[in-house]
């Protein structure tokens, strides 16, 4: 009997909680994007001293790190959300979605950024 309850809890997690979490993360991402823009505009228009500039740099870095975590989780959940597109779930469909999630995890673990313009900074981030 507990297996049935566990299976139903898993279904609830996929069909109810994942869409709610995606919505929460999308809202949080928008907020972080706005915070990032505020900090960049502060750097553009304010005349802070060196100490204040360092504080704002750290805030921007923390915002970017938080934004990356949100984007990573959102990417995983969006990949898992593909399961909703199937009218009839089969083992093959579930396996495909699971494979996509594993692929996303692998890409996230091995991520690197290639500078587009400031090639002189590339060696500093490896």
- Tens of pLDDT along 5-33? 888 888 888 888 999 999 999 999 999 99
What pLDDT shows up at residue 3?
86
- Tens of pLDDT along 20-70? 999 999 999 999 999 999 999 999 999 999 999 999 999 999 999 999 999
CA angle 85, 91, 93 (to 5 degrees): 30
Tell me how far CA of residue 27 lies from CA of 56, 70, 81, 87, in angstroms: 23, 10, 17, 28
Tell me how far CA of residue 78 lies from CA of 8, 19, 25, 81, in angstroms: 21, 9, 11, 5
List of residues 6+ apart from 100 with CB closer than 8 A:
79, 82
Q: Is the pLDDT of residue 126 over 70?
A: no
CA angle 86, 73, 82 (to 5 degrees): 5
Burial of 16 (0-12, 13-18, 19+ CB in 10 A): exposed
- Tens of pLDDT along 61-115? 999 999 999 999 999 999 988 888 888 888 898 899 999 999 999 999 999 899 9
CA distance linking residue 61 with residue 80, whole number of Å: 29
CA distance linking residue 89 with residue 112, whole number of Å: 35
């Amino acid at each position: 009997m507990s297996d049935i309850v566990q299976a139903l809890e898993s279904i609830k997690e996929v069909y109810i909680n994942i869409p709610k979490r995606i919505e929460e993360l999308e809202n949080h991402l928008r907020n972080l994007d706005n915070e990032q823009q505020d900090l960049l505009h502060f750097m553009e228009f304010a005349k802070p001293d060196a100490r204040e500039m360092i504080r704002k740099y750290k805030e921007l870095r923390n915002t970017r790190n938080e934004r990356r975590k949100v984007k990573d989780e959102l990417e995983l959940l969006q990949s898992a959300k593909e399961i909703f597109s199937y009218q009839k779930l089969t083992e093959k469909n579930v396996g495909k979605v699971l494979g996509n999630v594993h692929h996303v995890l692998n890409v996230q673990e091995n991520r690197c950024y290639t500078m587009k313009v400031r090639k002189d900074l590339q060696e500093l981030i490896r």
